[in-house]
Structure 1
């Protein structure tokens, strides 16, 4: 037993179909009067996108187990063993179905997210294009561009003025530094010149002092020489005067012979 439901979505790109069915598992143990069967309620959703096909949902409902017996007697061990194996197989099928359901759900969510993101992006692009193509937006964009251009020009002019001022300050600082270096050099040269002149002056004074001292020594020698000559001349004159006196006395009295001895 199955029910079928179809539909379309995502701009007719995605077609889907849903159907419900019941699966009946019948187990008969031969040689025993007991019959075991299970009914699974299954709901399947399938989809088709651009020609592709896949299952996005499969739901297994509650299992209904029934057993019939043709005898009021208890079931034999063989019948119970067959029923256990059937139950184990059913549980395995259920787990597999649940795993498929989980995977299909993840795939479904992924496809929905991708499709939603794509549709949102397309809608955003459409809205952006429509607004960009409107005259009001064009005017606003032109106004913003003009304001941006003026702002950029103002910033460039301010930057150039700032760089110009910095260049002037740097040039003035270089000039002041050069002037200070020149003044320092002139001061050093003046100091050196003054030291040289002072050394020359001291040397000249020393030379003059030595010359004056030498001149005084020469004058003293000359004075001593002249003094010696003067004393010698005076002595000679005194000796001559004494001789003259002696000669005058000799003429006025008789001659007396005498002898002078010099040691």
Structure 2
């Protein structure tokens, strides 16, 4: 895997976290969407254990409950407790043993706005979504397309699958609210449910610029996943009950789908600025 960070710029605008252009030289690359919070020392995690051990670390005051730890193997874990300067408890068991490796920690905000723009002119395409994204899932970006994601819940990563090498993605990340300066025109609104579970199309918008607001309504434990056709329970953006996601899709024909477990229900509102 090779990531080349070009033109690293920090803006002085309020809420802007980072702006950069990333070259994806390997398909299926995960891009962290927030800057590193703390990465001093090394860590060890053991397969099947929830305890993370640090060497040369000062976790107290630098790492908080709810932060994400990303290991050298690009595995991410949520912090469940900060025991002391050299020990963390993770919310899930480690999936692999990594000994004395470098790491990064990320502090995740409740509201994150991510703007992605495909910046390459070759024929390959870029697909953006949750874990498991591929050239048949996620939201497709062609050269010049721009996609804005606003997630009102804690999020960790954006996954990108490039159709060919050296795909460039421009990333702008903001924290905080987004001011709307114009009243949008409603295209469609409603609810969708799935009695037996599976993929459900919300609406075929087929307009150049739309905003889609999707909220999970069900009270059971299953989750809804948002994206394009080909979704399953391992891809798309996960929505648990009460969570919502706003998709701003510019200059792209967007057929929006959700993958629902049996009995799951989502509401949606599609508007055109």
The answer to whether TM tops 0.5 is no
Bin of the TM-score, shorter chain as denominator length: under 0.3
When you count strand as a share of all residues, which structure comes out higher? 2
**TM-score, normalising length from structure 1?**
0.18
Tell me: higher relative CO, structure 1 or 2? Use CA pairs within 8 A at least 6 residues apart.
2
Structure number with larger C-alpha Rg: 1
**TM-score, normalising length from structure 2?**
0.18
